[in-house]
Structure 1
């Protein structure tokens, strides 16, 4: 059981990218294109592992977070100011916008199992489940104990994985078709934005910051790099399997009238019984609550690194950042406000940020003064530059989509 001691930040990264947004995009991919876009998840897994390994290596070797290293290594004060402002706005404000979606996703899963729990205050109805989920997330974050947080999130990721795998198996898919479309890239008509969405929900900027910060909580020695890599690969592949299982489950639905994961749960029930609905609801609840915990945590690490604060889980300023994001998410979710304009801003900022951060990361990973003998190899650089090209494409597409150009 010694290997269990070296499982940690990886599942937290998987917990962060398998949120309600990923569940929804994967659902729509399965409903609209069947198994055809499964190859996109394989590409996303490879890209995520390559970039996240760099972030983890940076965190362990330097014992600093990514935003902290960027702040220290950019010497031009104007470029530094622009980079810090962009990172702060995209991650802190962006995660505040997405937090409402994370909590709402968890609420939808919870309500699919036990029904609604509304609290009437005057003429306004408040969703009580949002508040309950917010309190759970608050308690776990306020403890300020990395080991407790790690174990809870690992447990939730395992529950989420089992739930989605069972749901996919219940639909009795054709495994030869699954294998074919996993290994063969195809681009059916009208699939481009879905492909962009599938990759974009897996390769996310805030995970790079989160991972670099979390590994130094877990490991202090450069000799631990091998454990960090193993932990990352297992967790990200598992996350990819979860995404594939959602696509496979959605592909079993015969109707196109599916817009989100709760519609998927309802659509599966007539064909595969109430068990499919139950497992899918459990998976959605776990996906929502894990992202509801990791998004504020990532934002707090980013703010601390950018502003030069003490990135301690129990530090007052650290807590103030995640409290703000969590509270905003609870409020927006409980009164059912859809922060569309804020989310659009977050998409624009993240669309710009991902290639910028990938570029900064590649630059830093080649600096001998920072990483000494642990800098990137030629192979890592080639893979990194291929992924950078993809992120520039994704960023351009997301910007054009937000502004309704395409």
Structure 2
């Protein structure tokens, strides 16, 4: 008999699934959204509406598969297609791990940049401190503990950015129109791709699928929908806050402009938001790599290999953070890998969620879900091809 959805379980599910919001709201999201607002005002706000809805659709489908079959997305792909695509499982894991390791350095640098704006302390000391705290949390091995910590930080960060956005000069009617009316100003396509790509993240589908067990459909749907919606609102608030910034773009300039226009509190809230975005992503990137290994390669959470995955990702991030070097070549390779990974994963997900041999009719997609997912798959395929082209260039 399915579990009923109580207020307590509903709120707990929202907090638990906020790990997905924490995973896609990192320094890259802060930078992309703020830059979009700075350069194009509210014109690109619709891209965040599309990507938020797309993320809810894909994450719900991935978690629904796990609830219905007891298998994660990676395990289901392996069962459906057998050992013939074992090489593809290894390739997918390698692509995800490469992306997580490459961007982990940016996550740590983003968290440290926020702390530097707040405290002015030594960046090397703060890099080590952030890294050790993340290792301790990941070492506890409790995904629910990590999810709850991330949820609290994401909600605090969201309050900071929403507060800044509400104190901007953007009229509510103008914001409402920008949310639903697509616009492509000249030279804005790259940022549109960035806004969608920074929200619909391929490794989050494996992360969400791996977390989806032991919940009812009602709990899962409420938790994912509201948690991702909150993440989308945070991203939108960052973009609106970015409209207050003109001219050159850097974290310091954003903090200074917000302080000058709204008061010192705004710059402090931005610095805290940047730290929170970096810190949450510092936890979720290694966790996503490890959960993907568990899903695709069958490693258990208690195995040494599973722990080595997240530990290696953490060490790479800390090392680049201490060196103060942005791993540009690795990031370019990660863009190529993610460009291939995103449409492949979304296509597998669409096929799996309609499979009659694995899922009963109550768990398969409805016609409108299929239409919506096909639209998302087509757009993500375009994103993948475009990202590949940009990376090669």
- Once the two structures are overlaid, the 10-residue window that deviates more, 261-270 or 38-47, is 261-270
> What's the CA shift for 1:329?
0.5
CA–CA distance in structure 1, aligned partners of residues 169 and 185 of structure 2: 24
- The partner residue of 1:245 within 237, 242, 258 is 237
CA–CA distance in structure 2, aligned partners of residues 262 and 232 of structure 1: 34
- The partner residue of 2:333 within 321, 326, 345 is 345
1:176 pairs with 2:173? yes
Deviations 1:302-325 (A, max 9, x none): 112222222x2x432211110010
Deviations 1:260-294 (A, max 9, x none): 44431122222222111100111111111111101
Could you tell me whether the CA contact under 8 Å between 2:42 and 2:240 is conserved in 1?
Answer: yes
CA–CA distance in structure 1, aligned partners of residues 58 and 294 of structure 2: 22
Deviations 1:166-211 (A, max 9, x none): 1212334322211121121111111111101100000010100000
Output the TM-score relative to the length of structure 1.
0.92
* Correspondence for 2:148: 151
CA–CA distance in structure 1, aligned partners of residues 161 and 233 of structure 2: 9
Q: What's the C-alpha RMSD, in Å, of the aligned pairs?
A: 1.4
* Correspondence for 1:110: 115
Could you tell me whether the CA contact under 8 Å between 2:42 and 2:243 is conserved in 1?
Answer: yes
> What's the CA shift for 1:145?
1.6
The runs of 4+ residues in structure 1 deviating greater than 6 Å are none
Could you tell me whether the CA contact under 8 Å between 2:44 and 2:192 is conserved in 1?
Answer: yes
Alignment of 1:177-216 (within 5 A): 177-216=174-213
Deviations 1:2-47 (A, max 9, x none): 2323334420000000111111100110010001111111111111
Alignment of 1:353-364 (within 5 A): 353-364=341-352
Query: Which sections of structure 2, spanning at least 5 residues, go unmatched?
Result: 1-6
* Correspondence for 1:122: none
CA–CA distance in structure 1, aligned partners of residues 23 and 352 of structure 2: 24
Alignment of 1:219-230 (within 5 A): 219-220=214-215, 224-230=216-222
Deviations 1:292-350 (A, max 9, x none): 1011111001112222222x2x4322111100101111111121121101111111100
- Once the two structures are overlaid, the 10-residue window that deviates more, 64-73 or 231-240, is 64-73
1:99 pairs with 2:104? yes
Could you tell me whether the CA contact under 8 Å between 1:27 and 1:261 is conserved in 2?
Answer: no
Partner SS state of residue 200, structure 2: coil
Query: Which sections of structure 1, spanning at least 5 residues, go unmatched?
Result: 119-126
1:283 pairs with 2:282? no
Deviations 1:52-75 (A, max 9, x none): 110110121222222222222213
Partner SS state of residue 357, structure 2: helix
- The partner residue of 2:248 within 257, 260, 264 is 257
Could you tell me whether the CA contact under 8 Å between 1:106 and 1:284 is conserved in 2?
Answer: yes
CA–CA distance in structure 2, aligned partners of residues 357 and 263 of structure 1: 38
> What's the CA shift for 1:132?
0.7
Counting matched residue pairs gives 385
* Correspondence for 2:127: 130
CA–CA distance in structure 2, aligned partners of residues 264 and 396 of structure 1: 32
Could you tell me whether the CA contact under 8 Å between 2:153 and 2:280 is conserved in 1?
Answer: yes
CA–CA distance in structure 2, aligned partners of residues 186 and 12 of structure 1: 31
Could you tell me whether the CA contact under 8 Å between 1:86 and 1:349 is conserved in 2?
Answer: no
* Correspondence for 1:12: 19
CA–CA distance in structure 2, aligned partners of residues 275 and 42 of structure 1: 28
CA–CA distance in structure 2, aligned partners of residues 115 and 50 of structure 1: 42
- Once the two structures are overlaid, the 10-residue window that deviates more, 390-399 or 171-180, is 171-180
* Distance 1:42-1:106 versus aligned 2 partners, 3 A rule: same
* Correspondence for 2:56: 49
- Once the two structures are overlaid, the 10-residue window that deviates more, 339-348 or 173-182, is 173-182
Partner SS state of residue 368, structure 1: coil
* Distance 1:13-1:262 versus aligned 2 partners, 3 A rule: farther
Partner SS state of residue 203, structure 1: coil
CA–CA distance in structure 2, aligned partners of residues 197 and 23 of structure 1: 11
1:329 pairs with 2:317? yes
- The partner residue of 1:303 within 288, 293, 299 is 293
